[in-house]
Structure 1
Amino acid sequence: MASFNPLAKILDENKLTGPNNLDKKRNLMLVLTATKVYWVLTTEEQELPGPDVPQADHDRKSKWLQDNEMTKCYILGSIFNVLQQQHIGMAVASDIMLNIKEIFGE
């Protein structure tokens, strides 16, 4: 898959497939950091704020949801097709990373 995004190109050329997973995971973390979405891996999803909650809380929740989706796309794009199919329905990016860690180890 050709990509115009140089960060996505790093993931395209370094898919998590087995050997050298630590190097490939490091590349994924670099991409997530550079795109400013890494934070969702270390921040739990917040409950949906109620109508009487300040707008800032709604904005924070919306930002988390948006960045979580972007993080999931980068993670899924960095793994081979069989793993993509196993994880595509997972809602939270950190859950995908945890599951991949269980499969491949640290």
Structure 2
Amino acid sequence: MSVKSDEATDDEIKAYEKGIKADEMTRCYILASMANVLQHQHQSMTTAYDMFKSLKEILGEQNRPVKHTVMKARLTIKMVKETLVREHVFKMMSLLNELKILNAVIDMESKVEMVLQTLPDSFQQFCLNNNMNNMDLSLAKLLNEEQTAKSIIKQQDPPAALMVEKPSASTFKLKGEKKKKAS
């Protein structure tokens, strides 16, 4: 299928024919990668763009349940105490990338906040410092900062904020027991 016109130059005609050939190749690749049912439905379409629009209509709505599942996983995840910070942040980055692929728009500040919310209580000071200092972190910088914080947290054995003296049994009076007078 070529278009020749008195107004078109030889270069324009060649570019047009090259575009037609590229579109035909693209249609072949699309058809070859489809299931038989979809092939039959799309083989009469004249352009790859028409195929793409049709596939988007057919498959486009499948993003919604997938996006919901990924978002639910993101909202319910919490870093387990024994997990390495690096593994946890990579897992969070993976979930956030899946959401991006599904066309969810999340700015960097919100992504960092989402990761901070999944950290255990031992990172409370780290999160507070991040919020108080309005640190402008990317996920990669956050990963490095969290690993540094984790090594500091590990060095505190046990953390000072968590040290509580265990009361002795004689400090408490059992119900129904009378106070004994010292003789």
TM-score, normalised via structure 1 length = 0.52
Spell out the pairing of 1:93-104 with structure 2 (5 A cutoff): 93-104=48-59
In 2, Cα distance between the equivalents of 1:65 and 1:51? 20
Choose which of 40, 49, 52 in structure 2 pairs with 1:85: 40
**Which deviates the most, 48-57 or 64-73?**
48-57
In 2, Cα distance between the equivalents of 1:53 and 1:97? 29
Spell out the pairing of 1:1-106 with structure 2 (5 A cutoff): 48-105=3-60
Partner SS for 1:104: helix
1:5-51: CA deviation from partner (whole Å, max 9, x where unpaired): xxxxxxxxxxxxxxxxxxxxxxxxxxxxxxxxxxxxxxxxxx93413
In 1, Cα distance between the equivalents of 2:49 and 2:7? 29
Q: What are the ranges of 5 or more consecutive residues in structure 1 without an aligned counterpart?
A: 1-46
Partner SS for 1:82: helix
Offset, 1:92? 0.5
In 2, Cα distance between the equivalents of 1:52 and 1:94? 27
Offset, 1:60? 0.8
Offset, 1:53? 1.5
Structure of larger gyration radius: 2
1:49 and 1:58 in contact (8 A); partners too: yes
Q: What are the ranges of 5 or more consecutive residues in structure 2 without an aligned counterpart?
A: 64-183
1:49 and 1:57 in contact (8 A); partners too: no
1:46-78: CA deviation from partner (whole Å, max 9, x where unpaired): x93413421011001100110001000000011
Q: Which has the higher contact order (CA 8 A, sep 6+)?
A: 1
In 1, Cα distance between the equivalents of 2:52 and 2:40? 14
TM-score, normalised via structure 2 length = 0.31
Which amino acid in the other structure matches residue 70 of structure 1?
M
Partner SS for 2:20: helix
Which amino acid in the other structure matches residue 59 of structure 2?
F
Which amino acid in the other structure matches residue 48 of structure 2?
A
Identity rate, percent: 37
